[in-house]
């Protein structure tokens, strides 16, 4: 018998009272509500309002509702929510900053023709 249903999405969560230091690599969606220091690699990374990330981030899509300070590479898009703050260096294809969100970064657009790597 062959399963033909939808693939389940993997969700990993760093809770508000947790601190992680080192290299964190995940598939699927990563939700950060706590503190992460080091390197984060994933498909979709979401930093919640209580989340603080002091790291190099490389992901397909990144949403910032908390604080990010470091180097960020979003292969598709970066969204900064009204409660979000992003500082450092950013390389992304598309960026959206919602009213109230803060972007204090050197931003380089990722193009189809290649762009410098922030890692």
Look at residue 73 in the predicted model and tell me its pLDDT: 96
Output the pLDDT for position 111: 78
Give per-residue pLDDT as tens, 3-25: 555 666 799 999 999 999 999 99
Q: What pLDDT was estimated at residue 39?
A: 97
Here the tokens at position 32 are: 């950060």
The pLDDT value given to residue 17: 94
Predicted local confidence at residue 21, as pLDDT:
97
Q: How far is CA 67 from the centre of its chain?
A: 11
Structure tokens, 38: 């080091």
State the pLDDT at residue 1. Answer: 46
Q: Are residues 101 and 80 in contact, defined by beta-carbon separation less than 8 angstroms? A: yes
**pLDDT for 69-112, tens place per residue?**
999 999 999 999 999 999 999 999 999 999 999 999 999 998 76
Rounded to whole angstroms, the Cα distance separating 63 from 43 reads 12
Which residues are CB-contacts of 7 (< 8 A; sequence separation ≥ 6)? none
Whole-Å CA distances, 33 to 2, 107, 115: 38, 25, 31
Residues 6 or more apart whose Cβ sits within 8 Å of residue 96? 77, 78, 79, 80
- The answer to whether the beta carbons of residues 49 and 83 sit under 8 Å apart is yes
- Between CA 38 and CA 24 the distance in angstroms is 8
4 or 42, which is more confident: 42
């Amino acid at each position: 018998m062959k399963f033909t249903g939808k693939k389940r999405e993997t969700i990993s969560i760093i809770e508000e009272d947790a601190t992680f230091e080192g290299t964190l690599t995940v598939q699927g969606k990563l939700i950060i509500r706590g503190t992460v220091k080091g390197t984060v690699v994933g498909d979709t990374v979401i930093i919640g309002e209580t989340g603080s990330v002091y790291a190099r981030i490389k992901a397909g899509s990144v949403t910032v509702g908390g604080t990010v300070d470091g180097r960020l590479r979003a292969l598709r898009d970066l969204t900064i929510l009204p409660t979000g703050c992003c500082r450092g260096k950013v390389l992304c294809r598309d960026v959206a900053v919602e009213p109230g969100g803060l972007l204090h970064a050197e931003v380089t657009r990722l193009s189809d023709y290649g762009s410098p790597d922030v890692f």
